[in-house]
Chains A and B, each alone.
Chain A
């Protein structure tokens, strides 16, 4: 699944470690989500949406829709 996590993180000037700390997960988890290696659970997706003050749909989208 594609996501705008890296862009949103850059806009907020947060490092992966900063975001991981806010979410309560490891930095590796943030990295894996950003690079598309791992699709987050609904719980984590909601936590991400809340952290960036956006809806889940604004952060994540299926790969097909992105083209």
Chain B
């Protein structure tokens, strides 16, 4: 089963990387097309938001992968996601409140999902680190 899990994990990682590559490609195309062409406001808007499409497919991939995992890993992932959403949400709220009182640089909301993904990964690895060694 561990070999099966490894194969499944590798297949998931390959698909994950392909989705990331697709996202970067769409992002690059949208930026280049917006900068090199004089497009209408609707086309510009569509192109600006188009990188979200591969991200939606990526989300579907991650959810399907989540469903295939065992109950313990699902629990760890769920708790990690709660931490990630909570930390990013609190940070965004704190920054928002701060910006009401003090002049601070504007941070694009486009960084929220990557921030959640990074904190999710860190939280998951912390939670699973204690299970790495067989007792």
Residues of A within 8 A of B (CB): 6, 15-17, 20-29, 31-35, 37-38, 40-41, 44
User: Could you tell me if B72 and A26 are in contact, using CB atoms closer than 8 angstroms?
Assistant: yes
**Least CB distance, A63 to chain B, in whole angstroms:** 19
Please tell me the number of chain B residues within 8 Å of chain A, measured between CB atoms.
15
Query: B54 → chain A, closest Cβ, in Å?
Result: 28
Residues B2 and A17 in contact, CB atoms below 8 Å apart: yes
Residues on the A chain within 8 Å of B35, using CB: none
CA distance A15 to B1 in the complex (A): 13
Given the interface pairs A20-B2, A21-B2, the reply to whether A26 lies near B70 with Cβ below 8 Å is: yes
A28, B73: Cβ atoms closer than 8 Å: yes
Task: Write the residues of chain B forming the contact surface with A, with a CB cutoff of 8 angstroms.
Answer: 1-2, 5, 69-73, 75-76, 128, 131-132, 134-135
12 residue pairs from A and B, CB less than 8 Å apart: A6-B135, A15-B134, A16-B134, A21-B2, A27-B131, A27-B134, A28-B76, A28-B132, A31-B135, A37-B131, A38-B72, A44-B71
Q: Across the two chains, which residue of chain B brings its CB closest to A38?
A: B72
B20 to chain A, nearest CB (A): 24
- On whether the beta carbons of B2 and A29 are closer than 8 Å, the reply is no
Q: Is the CB of B73 within 8 A of A29?
A: yes
Residue of B nearest to A44 (CB): B71
- Known contacts A15-B134, A34-B135, A38-B75; decide if A29 and B1 are in contact (CB<8 Å): no
Are B135 and A29 neighbours in the complex by a CB distance under 8 Å? no
**What residues of A have a CB within 8 angstroms of the CB of B128 in the complex?**
28
Chain A residues, Cβ within 8 Å of B134? 15-17, 27, 31
